[in-house]
Chains A and B, each alone.
Chain A
């Protein structure tokens, strides 16, 4: 890419908006995943009995099992949310930027 095109894109408000919103969103989503996962893994390391509590009185199923399943589902839901927003909002912005420099 030539330098003048790079400078032109960098000055484009759409580009600045794209980088800012997407980076912020990606970081927020990553933190959400990391916090959930590390809370889980550190609970196992420091206080495993918290996950060994029965789900209800007399039940064999422990609370750890639904929590584990929910983390798996949570990971999938995060990817679905991100993909939906990126494939519409972010891609629209990227396409606008491409058009502004005569690509596509």
Chain B
């Protein structure tokens, strides 16, 4: 195994080197300091993977790092999962473009966390083993519930992976001067290495290191911006308003009508509580106490990070906008105004150069790349667990698979997901992918979350209700996204959307809860009665932790 590992390291470095040494310049000149720092990051994380591989022996090690991660470490890793390149570059870019509206998004992403703590973290930790489907199927029929939960997980993971891979390819093309395909293949290969060899332990540490680097880099940027204005927010905002108008200081048109506002809020809150790669992290800690601490630290880091991105976005307004160094001259000639190179999502990257020169630009570029690597690794691990633990071990082998074969399947699933991600990344290069993350959140909120929530708290839930309701929720979410303005009008080119709202969650979550309720209360089968009777034992375990999975000893 170690030889294979070394071979893969050398192989992936060779791919990297061939793209850089030949210097196939695409859009940007070769960024030497970025590449050096990125190689340092990759070497360090591959070292961690090597260390983690030696400690990853059982299926429990592979899925949950043996359950021995501390609350602080896990909080950092959860924050890392959440602070993806999309949220770092996307939210600072949104603040750069729209000002205050960016803050509305950040707040929506954050407020799901307290709810997860109050209602989900503890019972999830006490009832589950490796995946959230363990909890959903605790007293319900394994085959249908696991199949549905796995479908929800895999759909969420693949949609998220597409967004990350396309973002990665474009970002790396811009920052490092590598070909799009080379960048996507490189990300896919490194991710396969981390996950297959190092499992959850490596994935968690890669995420922790990246979260630390990202928070440090963003802190430096925010402080540099504030130092320019003697740490006075009012003078920063005054300057920004002078350049872009007073509108940047107040809510704009991002959330216009009440239905969209509520629907977006529901998607962000409940979607977060249904993301498989986030839920999976609660099984990596020893007990409910550490699970709660994880959420506390994660909320703190994420909240702090969003305040930083807000300052960074305003910093970009005053230091990047109209700065000739970052101006896309070709685009300006066509459309006028002050377009920046690479579009609004590059605002934070340009700002890093404005405040810290080439060296710091290299650092932030490397961190952005590292962020993508870490997030796709966590996603892939969650997807692979759904395939191996839920589908293979529980559905296909009826719970009779041994740990070794389950682990083998999850490694094969990791490689398969990695290859799918690479192909999807390449296939979607020229596509409009604005809908994919929204769709991922809508599915998580409409299929995963209602089943999980009701299985933990509602005695009367039956297999029939969960399967029919969850499937309807999932189907409604997918259908409304297709019929909505982003896909139906912007992508398919129809004149008017059949479903007028961008965010379907208000409707699809309602459909899901209502039909779970209806098909459960009308279920009078003996099986349904038995499932309801098992609720007491489940609830006692959820509340007290008696019988919960502990940490493994080593």
- Select which of A73, A82, A87, A101 is within 8 A of B303 by beta carbon: A73
Stretch with Cβ within 8 A of A (4 or more), from B104-112, B350-358, B410-418: B104-112
The reply to whether the CB of B526 lies closer than 8 angstroms to some CB of chain A is no
- Select which of A3, A41, A46, A62 is within 8 A of B249 by beta carbon: A62
In the complex, the answer to whether A1 meets B111 with C-beta atoms within 8 Å is no
In the complex, the answer to whether B292 meets A87 with C-beta atoms within 8 Å is yes
A6, B306: Cα distance in complex, Å: 44
Query: In residues 112-139 of chain B, which contact A (Cβ within 8 Å)?
Result: 113-115, 117-119, 122
In the complex, the answer to whether B545 meets A79 with C-beta atoms within 8 Å is no
The reply to whether the CB of B335 lies closer than 8 angstroms to some CB of chain A is no
In the complex, the answer to whether B543 meets A94 with C-beta atoms within 8 Å is yes
- Select which of B106, B251, B288, B292 is within 8 A of A64 by beta carbon: B251
In the complex, the answer to whether A41 meets B118 with C-beta atoms within 8 Å is no
The reply to whether the CB of A103 lies closer than 8 angstroms to some CB of chain B is yes
Q: Across the two chains, which residue of chain B brings its CB closest to A26?
A: B118
A51, B100: Cα distance in complex, Å: 10
The reply to whether the CB of B460 lies closer than 8 angstroms to some CB of chain A is no
| Residues of the B chain whose Cβ atoms lie less than 8 Å from the Cβ of A72 | 106-107, 110, 303, 306-307
Query: In residues 47-74 of chain A, which contact B (Cβ within 8 Å)?
Result: 48-49, 51-52, 59-62, 64-65, 68-69, 71-73
Q: Across the two chains, which residue of chain B brings its CB closest to A91?
A: B289
In addition to A37-B107, A37-B269, A41-B255, 11 A-B residue pairs with Cβ atoms within 8 Å of each other are A3-B537, A15-B544, A26-B119, A34-B115, A41-B262, A44-B255, A65-B233, A65-B237, A75-B110, A79-B299, A83-B293
Q: Which are the 9 A-B pairs with shortest beta-carbon distances?
A: A52-B250, A45-B261, A48-B251, A26-B118, A45-B258, A72-B303, A60-B238, A68-B103, A83-B296
The reply to whether the CB of B44 lies closer than 8 angstroms to some CB of chain A is no
In the complex, the answer to whether A45 meets B238 with C-beta atoms within 8 Å is no
| Residues of the A chain whose Cβ atoms lie less than 8 Å from the Cβ of B15 | none
| Residues of the A chain whose Cβ atoms lie less than 8 Å from the Cβ of B546 | 1, 9, 97-98, 101, 103
In the complex, the answer to whether A44 meets B113 with C-beta atoms within 8 Å is no
We find that the number of chain A residues with CB closer than 8 angstroms to chain B is 53
The reply to whether the CB of B256 lies closer than 8 angstroms to some CB of chain A is yes
Known: A51-B250, A52-B249. A60 touches B255 (CB 8 A): no
| Residues of the B chain whose Cβ atoms lie less than 8 Å from the Cβ of A42 | 258, 261-262
- Select which of B117, B234, B293, B547 is within 8 A of A61 by beta carbon: B234
- 14 A-B interface contacts by CB (under 8 A): A3-B537, A6-B536, A9-B544, A9-B546, A34-B115, A42-B258, A44-B104, A45-B255, A52-B249, A61-B233, A65-B249, A75-B114, A79-B300, A80-B296
Known: A10-B540, A26-B119, A73-B303. A78 touches B114 (CB 8 A): yes
In the complex, the answer to whether A33 meets B292 with C-beta atoms within 8 Å is no
| Residues of the B chain whose Cβ atoms lie less than 8 Å from the Cβ of A26 | 118-119
The reply to whether the CB of B17 lies closer than 8 angstroms to some CB of chain A is no
We find that the number of chain B residues with CB closer than 8 angstroms to chain A is 55
Shortest CB–CB separation between residue B11 and chain A, in angstroms? 44
The reply to whether the CB of B27 lies closer than 8 angstroms to some CB of chain A is no
In the complex, the answer to whether B117 meets A6 with C-beta atoms within 8 Å is no
Query: In residues 305-355 of chain B, which contact A (Cβ within 8 Å)?
Result: 306-307, 310
In the complex, the number of residue pairs spanning A and B with C-beta atoms less than 8 Å apart equals 159
Query: In residues 215-271 of chain B, which contact A (Cβ within 8 Å)?
Result: 233-234, 237-238, 241, 246, 249-251, 255-258, 260-262, 264-265, 269
A15, B536: Cα distance in complex, Å: 13
In the complex, the answer to whether B293 meets A69 with C-beta atoms within 8 Å is no
Shortest CB–CB separation between residue A92 and chain B, in angstroms? 11
The reply to whether the CB of B295 lies closer than 8 angstroms to some CB of chain A is yes
A64, B98: Cα distance in complex, Å: 14
Shortest CB–CB separation between residue B506 and chain A, in angstroms? 12
In the complex, the answer to whether B111 meets A10 with C-beta atoms within 8 Å is no
Contact indicator per residue, chain B 75-111, by CB within 8 Å of chain A (1) or not (0) = 0000000000000000000000000100110111011
In the complex, the answer to whether A68 meets B107 with C-beta atoms within 8 Å is yes
Shortest CB–CB separation between residue B273 and chain A, in angstroms? 11
In the complex, the answer to whether A49 meets B547 with C-beta atoms within 8 Å is no
| Residues of the B chain whose Cβ atoms lie less than 8 Å from the Cβ of A52 | 249-251
| Residues of the B chain whose Cβ atoms lie less than 8 Å from the Cβ of A79 | 113-114, 117, 295-296, 299-300
Q: Across the two chains, which residue of chain B brings its CB closest to A94?
A: B544
A72, B110: Cα distance in complex, Å: 7
A73, B78: Cα distance in complex, Å: 18
